[in-house]
């Protein structure tokens, strides 16, 4: 009897202590609205604006990082489960505690909206779509004071997060001298067809990283030494790209197109040139994350937590890959092949307007996949429907690693990268992902339970 009473008493103490730790979150969470669909739709709205605004791949990674970090910081309950991420990052001010009872979803979406509208060009269109979400939330909350307090806190957090974006080097980067193409060095990057656009964002590596110490923290292996000798390794790597593109299977073509993620693709129609806008590499992985959050039935806070971590990783991945691109300044396969192998050859994908080494898509994909694997497990199967709006069917994956491997090899299959850029990019992404996992470790994962909050309350 005494033994049973002791076990019962200990159990009561545990439950009481656990509920006290999560008392704030239990009070704040309105189960009818604490769903990932709100942050997922917000990211969809943001992507629509990013696509039409034609932001570059590095720029999009920065926008997703700031907006999703703001959403998380405003929506996380004041308890031991969800700790601040921004306070462990570079250059952010401390996040104040909320003084009043708030709804975390309303606060999170408000912060997301506040930051997003200040980072995109077409802010009016973005605000209109986000207002539609907030109006729905208002009707569910049905408490004017609660809704107002939640918005005020969300806007406060949005201002804190946005403040850092105004001093991260983004505004200053255009004041640096322009990139000069070295016409005399055969191995250096040259503008590529069809648009022959100037080098994109040559000073991106000067931006303040989110989590890492510096842009060259994970400096990759050097590219193969340039040569036009037919017996050289470099020539053979170019021939590998040439032969691969010329002998693609239907499946390989689908892989290349699915992971194209070129935000501004140029097209020729006779003498007319026009552009198609698509999702970016960062956008693709953000929407994979949204699909996983929906699949796991995460709360809005939980989904924001995952999206913030993925966003941070994507942003830093472009900083480190851009650092190497403009250091090595290597010629692209299309330029090399047209000059030394086949003047009429064209890649499957349009060669993007920046140097070759390393493959930024490979860096970003591997880094994001490691974050998702850390949170959801090694063998998390999912269906990726990200490219449906752009006319492509879904693809199925057995793991995030498999998806990142496919994204990386798509650059070789598409004819826009030599294989060493792909492999070195994957290694960079792996080093980055592991670093961020360790730096931002909270002991939180979703490998067993669908939702931490639902399990706790």
Ordered per-residue pLDDT tens for the chain, 457 residues? 443 334 333 343 333 333 333 334 334 434 557 899 999 999 999 999 999 999 999 999 999 999 999 999 999 976 678 999 999 999 999 999 888 899 999 999 999 999 999 999 999 999 999 999 999 999 999 899 999 999 999 999 999 999 999 999 999 999 998 899 999 999 999 999 998 999 999 999 999 999 999 999 999 999 999 999 999 999 999 999 999 999 999 999 999 999 998 866 544 544 454 456 689 999 999 999 999 999 999 999 999 999 999 999 999 999 999 999 999 999 999 999 999 999 999 999 999 999 999 999 999 999 999 999 999 999 999 999 999 998 899 999 999 999 999 999 999 999 999 999 999 999 999 999 999 999 999 999 998 755 544 444 4
Alpha-carbon span 47 to 311, nearest angstrom: 13
CATH architecture, domain 183-439: Orthogonal Bundle (1.10)
Long-range contacts at 89-98 (CB < 8 A, ≥ 24 apart): 89/210, 89/211, 89/312, 90/208, 90/209, 90/210, 90/211, 91/164, 91/167, 91/168, 91/208, 92/160, 92/161, 92/164, 93/160, 93/163, 93/164, 95/157, 95/160, 96/156, 98/149, 98/153
Tokens 């992404």 found at: 429
DSSP state of 206: G
d(CA 150, CA 100): 8
Cα distances (angstroms) measured from residue 154 to each of 88, 107, 236, 286, 331 = 20, 4, 55, 21, 46
In this prediction, residue 19 carries a pLDDT of 36
Q: Find all residues with CB under 8 Å of 42, minimum gap 6, and list them.
A: 67, 71, 109, 112, 113, 116, 130, 133
Q: Is the pTM of this model over 0.75?
A: yes
Just give the CATH number of 26-170.
1.20.144
Estimate the crossing angle of helix 104-119 against helix 123-141, to 10 degrees.
170
Predicted pLDDT at 24 = 42
The structural domains of the chain, with segments of one domain joined by +, span: 26-170, 183-439
- Among 407, 227, 430, which Cα is nearest to 321's? 430
């Amino acid at each position: 009897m005494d033994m049973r009473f002791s076990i019962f008493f200990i159990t009561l103490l545990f439950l009481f202590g656990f509920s006290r730790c999560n008392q704030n979150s239990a009070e704040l969470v309105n189960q009818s609205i604490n769903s990932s669909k709100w942050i997922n739709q917000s990211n969809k709205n943001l992507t629509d604006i990013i696509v039409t605004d034609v932001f570059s791949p590095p720029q999009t990674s920065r926008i997703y990082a700031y907006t999703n970090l703001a959403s998380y910081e405003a929506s996380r309950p004041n308890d031991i489960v969800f700790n601040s991420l921004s306070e462990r990052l570079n250059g952010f001010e401390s996040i104040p505690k909320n003084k009043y009872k708030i709804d975390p979803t309303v606060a999170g979406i408000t912060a997301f909206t506040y930051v997003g509208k200040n980072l995109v060009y077409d802010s009016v269109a973005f605000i209109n779509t986000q207002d539609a979400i907030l109006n729905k939330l208002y009707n569910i909350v049905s408490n004017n004071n609660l809704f107002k307090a939640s918005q005020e806190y969300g806007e406060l957090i949005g201002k804190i997060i946005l403040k850092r974006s105004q001093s991260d080097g983004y505004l200053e980067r255009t004041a640096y001298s322009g990139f000069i193409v070295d016409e005399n060095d055969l191995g250096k990057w040259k503008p590529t067809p069809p648009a022959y656009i100037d080098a994109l964002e040559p000073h991106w590596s000067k931006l303040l990283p989110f989590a890492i110490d510096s842009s060259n923290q994970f400096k990759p292996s050097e590219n193969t030494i340039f040569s036009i000798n037919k017996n050289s390794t470099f020539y053979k790597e170019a021939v590998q790209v040439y032969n691969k593109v010329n002998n693609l299977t239907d499946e390989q073509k689908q892989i290349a197109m699915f992971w194209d993620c070129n935000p501004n693709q140029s097209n020729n129609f006779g003498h007319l040139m026009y552009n198609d806008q698509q999702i970016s590499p960062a956008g693709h992985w953000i929407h994979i994350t949204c699909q996983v959050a929906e699949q796991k039935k995460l709360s809005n806070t939980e989904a924001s937590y995952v999206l913030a971590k993925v966003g941070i990783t994507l942003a830093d991945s472009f900083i480190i890959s851009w650092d190497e691109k403009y250091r090595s300044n290597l010629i692209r396969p299309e330029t090399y092949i047209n000059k030394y192998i086949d003047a009429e050859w064209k890649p499957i994908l349009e060669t993007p307007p920046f140097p070759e080494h390393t493959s930024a898509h490979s860096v970003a994909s591997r880094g994001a996949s490691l974050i998702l694997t850390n949170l959801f497990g090694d063998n998390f199967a999912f269906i990726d429907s990200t490219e449906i709006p752009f006319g492509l069917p879904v693809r199925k994956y057995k793991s995030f690693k498999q998806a990142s491997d496919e994204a990386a090899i798509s650059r070789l299959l598409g004819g826009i990268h030599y294989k060493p850029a792909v492999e070195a990019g994957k290694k960079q992404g792996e080093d980055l992902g592991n670093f961020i996992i360790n730096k931002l470790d909270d002991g939180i994962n979703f490998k067993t339970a669908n939702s931490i909050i639902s399990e706790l309350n």
